[in-house]
Amino acid sequence: MSKAVVMTFEVADSDDVRPTEKMRRSSREVRAEELRNRIFASAFAVVGRHGYAEASIGRITEEAGIAQGTFYLYFESRQALFDVLLPHVGANMLAYIRKKVHGAESFLEVEEQGFRAFFTYLRTNPGFVRVLNEAEVAAPIAHAAHMKLLTEHYVHSLERSVAAGEIKSFEGREIEALAYIFQSARSYLYMRYVKGNEKSGPPEWLFETYMKLVRDGVK
């Protein structure tokens, strides 16, 4: 019996315990990441409903179900959160669209599936538009970072199509301009055909019209 006890202590004192310690540290890191993401999700919901000006720390923490003191473990101020909120949710939107276009084999397929995914995302996340539009004034750092992220993503996609020989009439600096044209089209078409009517979404003919323009104008 005593021998077994000694062996137990020998194991406890050995390097074999380190993986457990690493697992515990990992669990704490996972927990911290979960809380941080909960704050992001709550801020997204609150700003989407009330706007940045009315998105107080109290409202955000109440939405998240955490104490206000917990908030300050992750962000030093409300503005510090706002300065990274839009890039965070923007990255989530890009991940959603990327998943939807996965498997598309041509530029036209990628563009149509991405166009459809964009509107589906906004229908299920209507607060995103307010978070985006108000950020230009309320969180200019976040707005600039988000636009840079979106544009770089779009440019890289278009450059792959150029390299594959699918786009032959545009190159160099024109590719970035083309990316902004496509992004602007999506924003204004949302404002005209979806905003206020998110449940039904855009009419099918709108997708056909957009792709007609892409097919005939981008060669």
Query: What percentage of the chain has pLDDT greater than the value 70?
Result: 88
Enumerate long-range contacts of 143-149, CB under 8 Å, 24 or more apart: 143/86, 145/84, 145/86, 145/87, 146/86, 146/87, 146/90, 149/87, 149/90, 149/91, 149/94
Return mean pLDDT, the chain: 88
- pLDDT at position 194 is 87
Q: What is the mean pLDDT of residues 144-166?
A: 95
pLDDT band at 16 (very low <50, low <70, confident <90, very high): very low
Sign of CA dihedral 128, 41, 71, 22: negative
pLDDT tens figures, 84-135: 999 999 999 999 999 999 999 999 999 999 999 999 999 889 899 999 999 9
- The residue assigned the tokens 């704490």 is 28
Give the integer Cα–Cα distance in Å for 13 and 7: 10
**HSE of 184 in the Cβ direction (CA atoms, 13 Å)?**
6
Helix, strand and coil in the chain, % to nearest 5: 80, 0, 20
Q: What does the buried/exposed string (b/e) look like for 124-134 if buried means 16 or more CB atoms within 10 Å of the residue's CB? A: ebebbbbbbeb
Q: Which of 109, 60, 58 is CA-nearest to residue 85?
A: 60
For residue 14, pLDDT over 50 is answered with: no
How far is the CA of 126 from the CAs of 15, 170, 200, in angstroms? 52, 34, 13
Q: What is the mean pLDDT of residues 31-56?
A: 96
**pTM for this predicted structure:** 0.82
pLDDT band at 10 (very low <50, low <70, confident <90, very high): very low
Give the integer Cα–Cα distance in Å for 159 and 167: 9
Q: What is the mean pLDDT of residues 125-146?
A: 96
Residue type, 158: L
Show the domains of the chain with their CATH numbers. 1-75 (1.10.10.60), 79-219 (1.10.357.10)
